[in-house]
Amino acid sequence: MANFATETERRPWLPLPPWARGTLVTLSSIAVTMLGLLFVTFLIGRVMPIDPVLAIVGERATEEQYNAAYRELGLDRSLAVQFFYYVTDVLRGDFGTSLLTARDVSTDIARVFPATFELATIGIFFGCILGVPLGVIAAVRRGSWIDQIARVIALVGYSMPIFWLGLMGLLLFYGILGWVGGPGRQGIFYEDMIPSVTGMILLDSLIAGDWGAFRDAFSHIVLPAALLGYYSLAYISRMTRSFMLEQLSAEYVTTARVKGMSEWAVVWTHAFRNIRVQLITVIALSYANLLEGSVLTEIIFSWPGIGSYITTALLSADMNAVLGGTVVVGLVFICLNIFSDLLYKVFDPRSK
C-alpha cells in the first residue's frame, strides 16, 4: 500500500500558527535591517577622510606610537574580521570611547537621547492635535477660506527654514516679549538641581515634586517644541487633507449622505476611520524625522540632544560618537516601524 505523506509531514513548518509565522518574519526582517544598518555605518567609518589613529595619537606622535595604536584599534585585520568585531561590540552596547568627552559613547547617548526624545515627543503631540483636525476640516471645506489658510500654513511650514523661524522666535518671544525661557533646558537657578531619573526634565521635575523647576523647564521647551510641532503639522495636515479628499469622493460616503446620516458621522465615523492606517505611517515618519532631524533646532536653542551631539562629534572627527549616534537613530526608525505594524493590526483587522 502506497505511503502518502501528508502536507504537514512534508512541510513541518506549516503547523506553526499564523501569529508565530508572522513573528518569525518580523524578527527576520528586523535582523536583516539591523545588519544592513551596521554594514552601512561600518563602511562610513572606513571611507570617511579621517584617520582614526591620527585623531587619537595626534599629529606629533612617532611612527612606533602610530603603529601601536593602529594595531590596538584592530585596523591591521581584514575588513571582514573588523566588521565581525564591530557587530559583536555593537550588540553588547559598546560603541567605543568618545574622543571629545573621554567617556563611553553609550554613556553619552544615554545622557543626550532623553533630551531629544522629550523635545520630539512634545513636538509631534502639537503636530498631531492641530494638524489632523486642520487637514480634515480643510478637506471637508475644500475651496473655502479655511482650506486656503490650511494650505498656506503647510506651504510656509515646508518653505520657511527652521533655523530662521527659531532665531525669529527667540528674538520675539524671548528677547522682546519675555514669554518663554531662553536657550538651554533650564535656567541657571534650576540647573542640575533636579535628580536625573529618566533624563527628561519635565518628568523628572514632576517626580521630584518641584513645580518651580517644572514651570522653568516648560518655559524653555515650549518654543523649540512648538517649532518642531509646526514643522510636523505642515506635513501631517497636508497628508490628512489629501487622504480625506480621496475618501470623501468615494461612493460609500455619497451613500451615507443619501441615507441621511449627519455630516459629523459621515466625516469622522466613515471617512476618517478609513485613513487611520495611512495616518499612522505619516505620523510615525514625522516623529522619526523629529527624533533624528532636529539638529538645527537643538543647535539654535542650545538643546543638548543627540542631533547636536552627533554634529559636534562630526566636526571634531570623533567617529566613534558619530557612528554610535547613527546606529541609535537607525534603531529608532526600526522600532517606530515595528510599532506602526502593531498599530496596523489594531486599526485594520485585514492585516491580522
| pLDDT reported for residue 222 | 94
pTM to 2 decimals?
A: 0.82
Place of cell 514643522: 231
**Number of other residues whose CB lies within 10 A of the CB of residue 219:** 17
Top CATH class of 113-311 equals: mainly alpha
**Number of other residues whose CB lies within 10 A of the CB of residue 238:** 22
Q: How far apart are CA 194 and CA 239, in angstroms?
A: 40
| pLDDT reported for residue 4 | 47
Contact between residue 237 and residue 131 where contact means Cβ atoms under 8 Å apart: yes
Q: How far apart are CA 172 and CA 146, in angstroms?
A: 27
Q: Which residues contact 152 (CB under 8 A, 6 or more apart)?
A: none
352 residues of the chain, pLDDT tens digit each: 445 444 444 555 446 666 666 677 777 877 888 888 888 888 877 777 777 777 777 777 788 888 887 887 777 788 888 888 888 888 888 888 887 788 899 999 999 999 999 999 999 999 999 999 999 999 999 888 888 988 888 888 878 888 888 899 999 999 899 899 888 888 888 877 888 888 898 999 999 888 988 999 999 999 999 999 998 999 999 999 999 999 988 888 888 888 888 888 888 888 898 898 889 989 998 998 888 767 888 888 989 889 889 888 888 778 888 888 888 888 888 888 888 878 877 776 665 5
Segments making up each domain of the chain, as ranges: 29-92, 113-311
